[in-house]
Amino acid sequence: VFDQIDQEPLGAASIGQAHRVVWQGRPAVVKVQYPDAAAMLRADFRCLELLLWLVSQDALAIMSQVRHQFATELDYESEANHLRELHAAFQVAPHFQGKVVLPEPIPELTSGHVIGMGYLEGSKLELALRTRLEALGVDLGKQGIGEWLAAQQRNGLSKNFSSQTDGAGRQMLESETEETRTTFPWNRLQGVFRLVGVDTVLWIARKLADMRS
């Protein structure tokens, strides 16, 4: 199928990875989903739901929404359709012509668990963002872009809460916070994860699931 395929992936995530290939003489990228990604995700969510059922059943509704969101990440066919629609839209949008480039979908390389697209030369997004931020005088230190953005978001939320809550507002916030702690013991759950680790918690949950079945 391919004239050449790089064994070292361009990038990898929890459910798949992307490889640069040469197809019919042109550079391209194939994004491949791991064969057991869907099964492993379903198994992990069953374990987490059982754990939440033991700790607080009120959180199961939230976990259901999270599970649905992760399920959409596994739908490569839908992702390929979105890429195709975005590529077509940006091609004719006057405000983006010559400014924004999206990879061209390759239908011949796209199937249920594989997405094929053209290869675009350039720096990785994280490197480009880091270079731009450092040029603006922002010192990221050893943090990754994701860690830095998360820290900025947390700091922004803290400032907003502290500036917007005073008097009765602060009392209401404290009351809601206390109610949240009462409804779902987040600190207790976080403490368990820190003490024994995520893998151990999932192992315990699987054992409990086996005992119930």
Structure confidence at residue 173 as a pLDDT band (50, 70, 90):
very low
Beta strand 16-23 with 11-12 is antiparallel
Rounded mean pLDDT, 84-112: 89
Structure confidence at residue 195 as a pLDDT band (50, 70, 90):
very low
Q: According to the model, what pLDDT value does residue 42 have?
A: 86
Greatest mean pLDDT among 19-28, 82-91, 184-193: 19-28
Q: What is the DSSP string of the chain?
A: --SEE-SS-SEE-SSEEEEEEEETTEEEEEEEE-TTHHHHHHHHHHHHHHHHHHH-GGGHHHHHHHHHHHHHHT-HHHHHHHHHHHHHHHHH-TTTTTT---PPB-GGG-BTTEEEEE---S--HHHHHHHHHHHTT---TT--HHHHHHHHHHHHHHHHHHHH--THHHHHHHHHHHHHHHHS-HHHHHHHHHHH-HHHHHHHHHHHHHHH-
Token pair 């249920």 in the structure block, residue: 112
Q: Per-residue pLDDT for 95 more than 80?
A: yes
pLDDT digits (tens, 9 = 90+) for 135-145: 888 888 888 87
Q: According to the model, what pLDDT value does residue 120 have?
A: 92
Structure confidence at residue 176 as a pLDDT band (50, 70, 90):
very low
Q: Per-residue pLDDT for 200 more than 90?
A: no
Task: Work out the percent of the chain whose per-residue pLDDT is above 70.
Answer: 73
Mean pLDDT, the chain, as a whole number? 77
Residues forming a β-bridge with 5:
21
Rounded mean pLDDT, 101-109: 92
